[in-house]
Structure formats: C-alpha cells, structure tokens
Amino acid sequence: MCDKSGAQVVLDGRSFKEPPFIVSAARFYPSGSSRQLFTFELEQTSLASAVFRFRTFNTDATTLPSQLVPALRSISYDFDRGRLSGSCDGVEGSCLEGTFDMNRLAMDLTSNITGMVVHSRSQSQHDRWVWDQDVPSLILRAVADNGMLGDTVLQTAVSKLSDCTSLKVCLDGGSSGPVGPEVLAPLGIMLSKQASHSYICTTPKKSSSSSPSSTMTIYPSYSPI
C-alpha cells in the first residue's frame, strides 16, 4: 500500500507479556523495501508527557539519500498543554516548536532546521482517529492558509489482524520530505496511542466473575546503553 509513498514506518507497541525494558518503537523503511533505515523509540513515564527519540541508524547513514536522513533527534510532548518541542542534530537549542490537538491530531508546527523558518499545519481528514478496540487509523493532510485540506502527509495502512501490536504507516511527507518534522511530530503521538492499544489488546481478559477495576498504564522509560 505504501509503494507510492516516500517511505514507510512500522509502529511497534510493547505487548503485555514483554518485559518493561522493551520500549515501543518506530522502525523506518524505504517504500516497498524490508531494509530498515533507522529507529525511533518512545519514552513515556506518565500520561502527561513523552519523548520520541532517535535510537540508531540500521543502515549506514552515508549511503542514504538526504531526504531519508532525519535531522530531528528528539521531540518532547506535553499532553496536558498540547505543546511540543524538538531538538536537531547540529542545531543549538530547539529546532521545532508547535501545538497539537489530540482530537483531530491537528498540528501547528514551526521549524528551523536549515536556517530557514518553516511553518506548517496539518490535521486528520476525519473527525476521529483513535478507537477503543482497534489500532489508530487516519489520513493526515496538510492544511492550507485558507483552511482547506491539501496533500496527504501520512496515512495508516491496513494492519495485520494477527498482530495488534504493529501498525504500518505510509509517509508521503511535507515540504521537508518523508522524515521531516511534519511527519515525525505526529508519529510520536501516534506511537503513544499505538503503545496503549498494544498493551490493552494483549492483556489477558478477566473472567466475567472478576470485578472491574480502573487502572492507568504507564510505560517505563528505557535508556539504551
């Protein structure tokens, strides 16, 4: 499904049975290829905040075209305030600032990676993208100055029915390409939602005789050595 996109990513959430040091990860690939390019990981220790962080290149970065080399190295999310900020390789201070609305995954971003300030907006094509019993599903499209929806930034592909922990996303990209800030910023939020779904969908079902309880799932942080 992603053959016509600039790249693709598989969002893998940690399952109930996996140990706490296993983290939810985003694994990036060229479109139509099984050769993994690089990996981002999600560090989420509370429901209020998370960090979407570059982990490693899985392919020699010097062999990759520039549009498939991410400049962003981490994106921090404040879910209570709906704000984010990002840091980039070789850039002092923040290279990305923005706001987001979880309901429509509406993003309003300002980045300065190459010395030129870029402002971009995007949002889900539909009113809802998170479902109680299913993986996240959406088409994220750019928003023009007049408020009209434009080109597709990314879209989820059909997920495997046999594996609820994995979700493929086709990356069409914005002005900065298929792994630019317009793509990576919403992907961190999507991985957070996929992580929650993965944990829930693999949790053993309680018997009908069990009394219901209310719990909050917190995903442990993990700093790779």
pLDDT in tens, 25-66: 999 999 989 999 999 999 987 889 999 999 999 999 999 999
pLDDT score recorded for residue 210? 46
Q: For residue 76, count other CB atoms closer than 10 A to its CB.
A: 18
Q: What is the CA radius of gyration of the chain?
A: 17
CATH architecture of 7-200: Alpha-Beta Barrel (3.20)
Integer CA distances (angstroms), 170 to 33, 47, 110, 139, 187, in order: 12, 27, 23, 10, 11
Give just the sign of the alpha carbon dihedral 191, 40, 161, 45: negative
pLDDT score recorded for residue 207? 63
Residue 204 is given by DSSP the state P
Which regions of the chain are under pLDDT 70? 159-161, 207-225
Q: For residue 107, count other CB atoms closer than 10 A to its CB.
A: 25
| Separation of alpha carbons 29 and 90, rounded Å | 24
| Separation of alpha carbons 221 and 225, rounded Å | 13
Give just the sign of the alpha carbon dihedral 179, 185, 188, 191: negative
